[in-house]
């Protein structure tokens, strides 16, 4: 067929001949010079040249097979307002998830939620939270370029394979707990510093080794509430690492006592105070959802089941559920400590971390920080600084190989998610962190006695009761 395909073949033949003639003889021709100049182009220059001049690439951009620097493939998920497709970065070749939103279908409230989602995701850099790389805008659509978690979600895994083993439940739940604890209480990431800057080193607590400490600044609380924690939003990366996803309903509160009044999330995971249609505190709502999630992991069923919303509401308000007797005792106590109808009686996140059931779980990073002024903290800060320098050097080298110059970096301070330079930088940075164990899984050892974590076991010795509900 004449056209783009045939033209591409002819061009390729000319290129081969030009290479051959340049090798065998000193005589050149215009085609030889053109081919030689093309070979001297960097990957970035070749890509931008194709996006401006190559008919096939331009057509792919027009029909949606390309979005910015990303080659779009098949659909891998969908939501109320969005679709998610697999994509590849044309320069780095990394897989990403492309969340596509139709701007025409978004009302004012949806726009506010989306803006909040982007802001919250930009501030989160944790191994167990899905990362935002870039935002691409067109007149009709908005694209969120996200970290790709290629091994599905927890809901489909349990529905197809059954409940998780006790060990797998520990490892999975501990990572979800790590993510939520980070969102609620870790030092807040500040504005991203300029490339290569070293003045934004974090001294806040619980910074996992390999996480993006460049983005952390002054020590204060994030206070980000997820509000839609459920098995469908717990994803698995190719290495099996848990990734908490979909922050579409997330919100940042000014303090722990700040009340919210918007009903969010999935009803089977909703806390009793949400069904009462009254204001509520954010952290206990996420804690309740984690209790439902834990029950689902260890039993393969939901704690609150009903055939109508009214019956479900009644069971949740009464705290009516039954833990099967074969669930290990420490796990039963944790579930009952979480699923308390009264928010103030529920286990806090730190209490969950210190429970008997999770004590054997050993993370590749420390969940409990050293004292800020201790020699250990000074040593950790020193080691972290050395790691940052190594990572920065590696990312700098990768950017240069792709064709990004110092001028590119000066013009793009890597703070704007809507810049393709920021997208490449964040992908390369995450890749460097993963090579250093960022996505390493926790392991279950023997009963490890960590004095700091033992000190968090505040729920031990409390009585936990629940009513039973049988639905016909």
How deeply is 163 buried, as exposed, middle or buried, from its count of CB atoms within 10 A (0-12, 13-18, 19+)?
middle
Residues 6+ apart with CB under 8 A from 436: 209, 210, 387, 391
Rounded to 10 deg, the angle between the 329-338 and 282-299 helix axes is 150
99 among annotated binding-site residues: yes
Q: Are 216 and 126 in contact (CB under 8 A)?
A: no
- Report the C-alpha gap between 221 and 252 in whole angstroms: 10
Q: Are 356 and 457 in contact (CB under 8 A)?
A: yes
The continuous run of DSSP H or E covering 396 comes out as: helix 375-402
Q: Which residues does residue 85 pair with via DSSP β-bridges, in sequence order?
A: 75, 98
Residues designated catalytic: 228
- Residue count of the chain, please give it: 472
Angle at CA of residue 359, ends 355 and 361, nearest 5°? 130
- Report the C-alpha gap between 114 and 132 in whole angstroms: 13
The continuous run of DSSP H or E covering 216 comes out as: strand 216-221
Extract the annotated binding site for ATP: 99
């Amino acid at each position: 067929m004449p056209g783009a395909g045939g033209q591409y073949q002819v061009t390729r033949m000319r290129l081969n001949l030009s290479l051959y003639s340049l090798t065998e003889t000193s005589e050149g021709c215009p085609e030889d010079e053109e081919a030689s100049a093309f070979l001297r182009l960097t990957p970035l220059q070749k890509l931008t040249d194709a996006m401006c001049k190559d008919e096939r690439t331009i057509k792919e951009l027009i029909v949606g097979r390309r979005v910015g620097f990303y080659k779009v493939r098949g659909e891998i998920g969908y939501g109320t307002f969005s679709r998610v497709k697999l994509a590849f970065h044309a320069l780095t070749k990394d897989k990403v998830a492309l969340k596509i939103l139709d701007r025409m279908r978004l009302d004012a409230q949806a726009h506010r939620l989306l803006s909040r989602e982007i802001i919250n995701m930009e501030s989160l850099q944790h191994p167990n939270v899905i990362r935002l790389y870039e935002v691409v805008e067109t007149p009709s659509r908005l694209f969120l370029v996200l970290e790709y978690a290629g091994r599905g979600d927890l809901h489909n895994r349990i529905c197809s394979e059954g409940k998780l083993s006790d060990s797998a439940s520990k490892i999975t739940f501990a990572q979800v707990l790590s993510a939520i604890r980070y969102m609620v209480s870790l030092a807040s990431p500040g504005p991203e510093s300029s490339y290569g800057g070293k003045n934004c080193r974090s001294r806040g607590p619980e910074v996992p080794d390999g996480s993006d400490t460049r983005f952390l600044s002054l020590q204060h609380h994030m206070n980000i509430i997820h509000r839609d924690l459920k098995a469908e939003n717990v994803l698995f990366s190719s290495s099996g690492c848990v990734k908490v996803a979909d922050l579409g309903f997330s919100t940042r509160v000014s303090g722990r006592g700040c009340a919210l009044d918007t009903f969010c999330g999935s009803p089977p995971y909703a806390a009793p105070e949400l069904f009462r249609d009254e204001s509520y505190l954010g952290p206990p709502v996420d804690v309740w959802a984690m209790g439902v999630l834990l029950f689902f992991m260890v039993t393969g069923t939901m704690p609150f089941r009903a055939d109508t919303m009214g019956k479900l509401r009644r069971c949740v308000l009464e705290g009516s559920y039954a833990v099967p007797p074969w669930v290990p005792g420490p796990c039963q106590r944790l579930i009952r400590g979480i699923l308390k109808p009264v928010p103030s009686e529920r286990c806090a996140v730190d209490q969950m971390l210190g429970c008997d059931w999770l004590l054997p779980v050993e993370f590749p990073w420390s969940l409990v920080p050293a004292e800020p002024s201790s020699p250990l903290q000074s040593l950790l800060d020193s080691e972290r600084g050395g790691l940052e320098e190594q990572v920065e050097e590696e990312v700098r080298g990768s950017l240069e190989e792709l064709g990004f110059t110092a001028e590119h970096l000066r013009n793009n301070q890597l703070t704007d998610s809507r810049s393709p330079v920021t997208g490449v930088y964040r992908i390369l940075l995450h890749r460097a962190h993963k090579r250093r164990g960022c996505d390493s899984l926790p392991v279950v050892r023997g009963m490890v006695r960590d004095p700091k974590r033992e000190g968090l076991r505040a729920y031990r010795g409390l009585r936990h009761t629940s009513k039973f509900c049988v639905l016909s």
